[in-house]
Amino acid sequence: PLLTALPELHMLTRPSGKTFLVAECLVCGFYPQNVTVQWLQNGEPILGRLYESELVQNPNGTFSTGSIFFPNQDHFAANFTCQVQHEALEAPLEETDLRDMLWELAWELERR
């Protein structure tokens, strides 16, 4: 397509700390709608224990979606990365868990 919009990636974990119960990857503001969201554990794809949210069209015509990961004891002491692939990107967009920082950011945003 002639028109594309780069996705924005936000990764949140709840609660913060080393033993979080859920990690959410929010992908916002992309166009066209085709996007791939993948979770990686120490650089390797994670299979299962994932929930993909619906694709939503924003008022400005771009799209948003999300992916939720529920870790178990097999995922202890691992680095987690949310990876997004979209045609507007030259290379995949990645965010690795920065649990304490992102939890504080999410808490601040929710207070507004």
Of 65, 79, 66, the residue nearest 20 (C-alpha): 79
Delineate the domains of the chain, giving CATH numbers in brackets. 8-106 (2.60.40.10)
Give the pLDDT confidence score for residue 112 in this predicted structure.
47
Does 106 have pLDDT greater than 50?
Answer: no
Residue 23: how many other CB atoms lie within 10 Å: 22
Does 60 have pLDDT greater than 70?
Answer: yes
Does 18 have pLDDT greater than 80?
Answer: no
Give, in degrees to the nearest 5, the angle at Cα 29 between 5 and 56.
Answer: 125
User: Could you tell me if 66 and 54 are in contact, meaning their C-beta atoms sit under 8 angstroms apart?
Assistant: no
